[in-house]
Amino acid sequence: MVFAPNEEPPIPQTTIVENFSLNLGRVFFIFSTTSLGYLVKGWLKTLEVSISKSPSTGVEKFIYTVIKQISYKSDERDFKRKFAGKGISNIVSLPMERLTIPLFALLGALPFYIPQLWFLDFFAFLPLFVRKDLKAHIWFGFVYGFLLYAFLIKAVALTTNSIFLTIPSFLGIVLFYALLQFGLPWLLTRFGVFYPLAFTLVEVLRLFFPFDGFPYEYLGKVLVNAPLLGLSIHYLTVFGATFLILSFNWSVYKLIEHWETDRKRFFLAEVGFITALLVPAVVYKLQIHYPFYGLKVALVQPFIGQRDKMTNPDFVKLYTAYLLTFVPKNVDLVLLPETSIPVGATHDFIKAFSNYNLLFGAEYVYFDFQRLNLVAKNLVVLAEKGRIRGIYAKEILVPFGEYTPKGFKWLERFIPYLANIEYEPDGFNKIFDFKGLKILPKVCNEVFYPMGELKNIDLVVVVSNDAWFGFNFPQRHLWEVKLRAIETGKVFIFVNNNGYSGIVYPDGSYVGFPTAKVQVLSL
**Same domain flag for 390 and 340:** yes
The residue type found at 241 is: A
Beta-bridge mates of residue 2: 519
pLDDT at 53: 44
Which phi-psi region, left, alpha or beta, contains residue 114 (left: φ > 0; alpha: ψ -120 to 50)?
beta
Last residue of a domain, one of 272, 287, 302: 287
Q: Per residue in 348-370, pLDDT tens?
A: 999 999 999 999 999 998 887 77
**Same domain flag for 248 and 172:** yes
Q: Decide if pLDDT at 386 tops 90.
A: yes
**Same domain flag for 318 and 191:** no
**Same domain flag for 262 and 304:** no
pTM score: 0.84
Q: Is residue 510 part of a domain?
A: yes
**Same domain flag for 373 and 294:** yes
Q: Decide if pLDDT at 16 tops 50.
A: no
b/e map 62-78, b = 16+ CB within 10 Å: bbbbebbbbbbeeeeee
pLDDT at 64: 53
Q: Is residue 8 part of a domain?
A: no
The strands making up 510-511's β-sheet, listed across from edge to edge, are: 432-434, 437-443, 459-464, 491-496, 502-504, 510-511
Mean pLDDT of the chain: 85
**Same domain flag for 334 and 382:** yes
**Number of domains the chain contains:** 2
Q: Decide if pLDDT at 418 tops 60.
A: yes
ω into 227 cis (within 30 of 0): no
Task: Give the confidence band of 100 by pLDDT, cuts at 50, 70, 90.
Answer: confident
Which ranges constitute the DSSP H helices of 207-262? 233-257
Q: Is residue 138 part of a domain?
A: yes
Please report, for the domain that includes residue 486, its CATH number.
Answer: 3.60.110.10
Domain that holds residue 60: 16-287
Q: Is residue 3 part of a domain?
A: no
Q: Is residue 6 part of a domain?
A: no
Q: Per residue in 153-205, pLDDT tens?
A: 999 999 999 999 999 999 999 999 999 999 999 999 999 999 999 999 999 99
**Same domain flag for 57 and 30:** yes
**Same domain flag for 210 and 80:** yes
Q: Which region among 43-52, 244-253, 284-293, 474-483 has the lowest average model confidence (pLDDT)? A: 43-52
Q: Is residue 183 part of a domain?
A: yes
Last residue of a domain, one of 254, 287, 320: 287
Which DSSP string do the residues of 49-76 spell out, in sequence order?
A: HHHHH-GGGHHHHHHHHHHHHHT--S-H
332 closest CA partner among 382, 379, 286: 382
Q: Is residue 302 part of a domain?
A: yes
**Same domain flag for 256 and 162:** yes
